Each structure stands twice: as C-alpha cells, then as structure tokens.
C-alpha cells in the first residue's frame, strides 16, 4: 500500500510546491493533496502539471495507485 509521506510527497519538486502554494494548493501538505488528488491526477495526465514538462508515466501511475489504495498518509 502506498502512502503520501513515503511514496508521494517526494514526487513533487520544491519548485512545484512553491509555485502551487502561491495558487492556494500546498503540494507538501497531505491534507491538500488528498483533497485535490483527482484534480492533480487529471492535470498530471493531460501534461498541464507541472508546467515545465510532464512527469514520467511511472510517477503518474504511482500517484494514480496511491489514490486507488485509499490516499493513505
């Protein structure tokens, strides 16, 4: 089972965390990512997040699996 702290948080670069904080989403905070996980996944899949290039498919799949596993901390 995947967890945010051990498996997901590290997928977000500090520059992504800083940029999204200015937009009201803290990618470094479990509660924010958990609440917006579906929106985040959609943006990861369509390539609009992060803004400087798409994540590798392996990382997108890991994020998707975390959601399917129940979004554990």
User: pLDDT per residue over 6-51, tens digit each?
Assistant: 999 999 999 999 999 999 999 999 999 999 999 999 999 999 998 7
Q: Find the domain containing 33 and state its range.
A: 4-69
Query: For residues 65 and 46, what is the distance between their CA atoms, to the nearest angstrom?
Result: 17
Give the per-residue pLDDT at 52. 84
| Token reading at 14 | 């500090």
Return the biggest CA–CA distance within the chain: 31
Domain count across the chain? 1
Give the per-residue pLDDT at 1. 93
| Token reading at 56 | 């590798």
CB atoms within 10 A of CB 40: 21
Give the per-residue pLDDT at 35. 98
The model's pLDDT over 41-63, given as tens digits with 9 standing for 90+, comes to: 999 999 999 878 889 999 999 99
- Is 3:72 a contact under the CB 8 Å cutoff? yes
DSSP, res 54: P
């Amino acid at each position: 089972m995947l967890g945010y702290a051990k498996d997901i948080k590290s997928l977000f670069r500090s520059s992504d965390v800083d940029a999204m904080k200015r937009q009201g989403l803290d990618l470094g905070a479990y509660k924010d990512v958990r609440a917006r996980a579906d929106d985040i996944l959609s943006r990861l899949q369509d390539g609009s997040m992060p803004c400087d290039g798409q994540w590798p498919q392996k990382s997108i799949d890991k994020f998707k699996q975390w959601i399917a596993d129940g979004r554990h901390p």
